[in-house]
Chain A
Amino acid sequence: MRAIVSIAGLTKRYATGGDALKRIDLDIREGEIFALLGPNGAGKTTLINIVCGIVTPTSGRVLVDGHDIVRDYRAARSRIGLVPQELVTEAFETVRAAASFSRGLFGHAPDPRHVEKVLRDLSLWDRRNDIMMTLSGGMKRRVMIAKALSHEPRILFLDEPTAGVDVELRRDMWGLVRRLRDQGVTIILTTHYIDEAEEMADRIGVINHGELILVEDKARLMKKLGKRQLTLNLQEPLAAIPTELGEWSLALNANGHELEFTFDAVEEHTGIPALLRKLEQLGINYRDLNTKQSSLEEIFVSLVSDRATALQ
């Protein structure tokens, strides 16, 4: 698939010292939802701000739909909509005026119908004449999205879109992102809510200390790094794991009431049928069983901490 954003050898060193980004290479595919994961201060926002023209890179090159962000900034920027992390609004403007302003700023002729559609999509139409400073935080977040969508971007950057928003707005936001993707908009979102990435993303990039640790298809990432667990609730507690079960990696939990079997999700032969047969032979009965796949959060934590250990 074609890369709509192509980042090569991108670095950012601030005058004060610190390397915010260390040689980032990344291709964003057209039409995908790409989630950039990483702890606070990892470099997510710096990366986005460089692509959008707010921060000047120290070195490297970024192409947006084939246009260099420095030499051909007009073409590059007119394709991008940005919703930054912080809630910043033109305090004294009305919702509609703010959205219309953004549309004009990005070089589009006024189109009240399009602005109306965007405001309706974000449930803002009833508030169109409200002054921004009278809006709640969630409403302001919607306005910022409306502003970014008012100029019909092909690429949308959402920097921590659901930080501090309530559950309803979060659901709305996810719905909106999917609708946009269906319309062919490429979406790049940063988050430190793993469930968000897990729910939304097609691909995931993990960034930490200014380095892109990995970029992977979400399903493949979870498969590759995911562990699965089988938990058996025993009828009679066990004092110790019988030696006959030595070939499986087992653990006893809940005072011997639970037998936990951890296995790799990738392996074809998980060993479950054999284990269950063996248990029957040994007369160990269970009331219930369930399997669970490790979440992206667990994968992420292990990735980041592995890295930290390796660096020490």
Chain B
Amino acid sequence: MSVAFNRHGTWAIYRFEMARFLRTLLQSVLTPVITTSLFVVVFGAAIGGRMSEVNGVPYGAFIVPGLIMLSLFTESISNASFGIHFPKFTGTIFELLSAPVSPFEIVLGYVGAAATKSFLLGLIILATASFFVPIGILHPAWMIAFMALTAVTFSLFGFIIGIWAKNWEQMQLIPTLVVTPMTFLGGAFYSIDMLPPAWRTVTLFNPVVYLISGFRWSFFGTSDVGVSVSLAMTLVFLLACLALVALIFRTGYRLKH
């Protein structure tokens, strides 16, 4: 039996991971929904009421794409990193390593499931936010595309973290120290046009700026940077993650002795 693609194996991993999501549905959905609601209420209603429009968009609506992105980043990373780190931690990874599945199939199963979860969550957050503020979506297809791309990219990134991390503390390291600050400084809650010119230049080195900007464009048609630049940066990040994953499997880094 020499199959080119182990679909049963890939499907088994995907289903296994999705089952974990469904088992913890309440925590998985409730936490981000409550967080988003708090952000929208506090920033959007309380503070936003005293603020002028940003690029012609009411502040309450303006922050919604940023909030969705923030959740997509953190949820994709935590889902994917947990998914692969847990078997490493418990030792059940032996089965994955001894199974007739290719690295591509393993990644497809784990990253696919993590991306599915965070994508669904993004939609739920969008629905939640629309309870509080009216949101129009100018380019729905692009919005879906940006969301899907971001979910896949950060799930890949999370998968890498899950393999790299030697313990649970290290798992938190990159999300806490890198991703969250970059998101907050990446224009989740403001337009980078609002920054002094010097800081604006510094901010342009932050890749998250491009992700949020492109996503926001799909909602309101206005953006900090060009949409094609946003898309290109997202794809670059995606390819970088893919290359790193390929390298991990080729060398067996922190997977095999």
Residues of A that sit less than 8 Å from B by CB: 14, 52-56, 72-78, 80, 82, 84, 86, 88-93, 97, 100-110, 147
* Distance A74 CA – B98 CA, assembled complex (angstroms): 10
Given contacts A55-B257, A88-B92, 5 further A-B contacts (CB under 8 A): A76-B100, A97-B19, A105-B101, A106-B100, A108-B8
- Chain B residues with CB under 8 Å of A77's CB are 98-100
Are B91 and A55 in contact, with the CB atoms below 8 A? Answer: no
B177 within 8 A of A: no
B52 within 8 A of A: no
Distance in Å: Cβ of B113 to nearest Cβ of chain A? 13
Residue of B nearest to A51 (CB): B98
Residues of B that sit less than 8 Å from A by CB: 1-3, 6, 8-9, 11-13, 15-16, 19-20, 23, 87, 90-92, 94-102, 252, 256-257
- Chain B residues with CB under 8 Å of A103's CB are 8, 12
* Known A91-B90, A97-B19; contact A53-B97, beta-carbon cutoff 8 A: yes
Are B256 and A105 in contact, with the CB atoms below 8 A? Answer: no
Selected A-B contacts with CB under 8 Å, 11 pairs: A14-B257, A52-B97, A53-B98, A74-B1, A78-B1, A82-B95, A102-B95, A105-B13, A105-B96, A107-B1, A108-B8
* Known A56-B257, A72-B2, A89-B92; contact A106-B99, beta-carbon cutoff 8 A: yes
Q: Which of B13, B19, B91 contacts A86 (CB 8 A)?
A: B91
Are B257 and A88 in contact, with the CB atoms below 8 A? Answer: no
Distance in Å: Cβ of B175 to nearest Cβ of chain A? 23
Residue of B nearest to A55 (CB): B257
* Known A75-B2, A91-B90; contact A56-B252, beta-carbon cutoff 8 A: yes
Are A104 and B90 in contact, with the CB atoms below 8 A? Answer: no
* Distance A108 CA – B8 CA, assembled complex (angstroms): 6
* Distance A73 CA – B106 CA, assembled complex (angstroms): 15
* Distance A80 CA – B95 CA, assembled complex (angstroms): 11
What are the nearest 9 A-B pairs in CB distance?
A104-B12, A88-B91, A74-B100, A52-B98, A77-B100, A78-B100, A105-B99, A104-B8, A107-B6
Residue of A nearest to B24 (CB): A92
Residue of A nearest to B99 (CB): A105
* Known A77-B100, A97-B19; contact A84-B94, beta-carbon cutoff 8 A: yes
Q: Which of A75, A78, A101 contacts B16 (CB 8 A)?
A: A101
Are A90 and B99 in contact, with the CB atoms below 8 A? Answer: no
Distance in Å: Cβ of A82 to nearest Cβ of chain B? 5
Are B90 and A54 in contact, with the CB atoms below 8 A? Answer: no
Q: Which of A54, A93, A97 contacts B98 (CB 8 A)?
A: A54
Say whether chain B's binding surface is mostly helix, strand, loop, or mixed. helix
Residue of A nearest to B16 (CB): A101
* Distance A33 CA – B12 CA, assembled complex (angstroms): 31
- Chain B residues with CB under 8 Å of A53's CB are 97-98
- Chain A residues with CB under 8 Å of B257's CB are 14, 55-56
Distance in Å: Cβ of A250 to nearest Cβ of chain B? 53
* Distance A127 CA – B94 CA, assembled complex (angstroms): 24
Are A55 and B256 in contact, with the CB atoms below 8 A? Answer: yes
Distance in Å: Cβ of B168 to nearest Cβ of chain A? 15
Distance in Å: Cβ of B132 to nearest Cβ of chain A? 35
- Chain B residues with CB under 8 Å of A52's CB are 97-98
Are A104 and B11 in contact, with the CB atoms below 8 A? Answer: yes
- Chain B residues with CB under 8 Å of A109's CB are 8
- Chain B residues with CB under 8 Å of A100's CB are 12
Distance in Å: Cβ of A4 to nearest Cβ of chain B? 15
* Distance A107 CA – B23 CA, assembled complex (angstroms): 25
Are A105 and B2 in contact, with the CB atoms below 8 A? Answer: no
Q: Which of A82, A92, A107 contacts B8 (CB 8 A)?
A: A107
Are B94 and A82 in contact, with the CB atoms below 8 A? Answer: yes
Residue of A nearest to B20 (CB): A92
Distance in Å: Cβ of B65 to nearest Cβ of chain A? 34
Distance in Å: Cβ of A66 to nearest Cβ of chain B? 12
Are B94 and A74 in contact, with the CB atoms below 8 A? Answer: no
Residue of B nearest to A89 (CB): B92
Residue of A72, A90, A100 most packed against chain B (CB within 10 A): A90
Are A88 and B3 in contact, with the CB atoms below 8 A? Answer: no
Distance in Å: Cβ of B60 to nearest Cβ of chain A? 39
- Chain B residues with CB under 8 Å of A101's CB are 12, 15-16
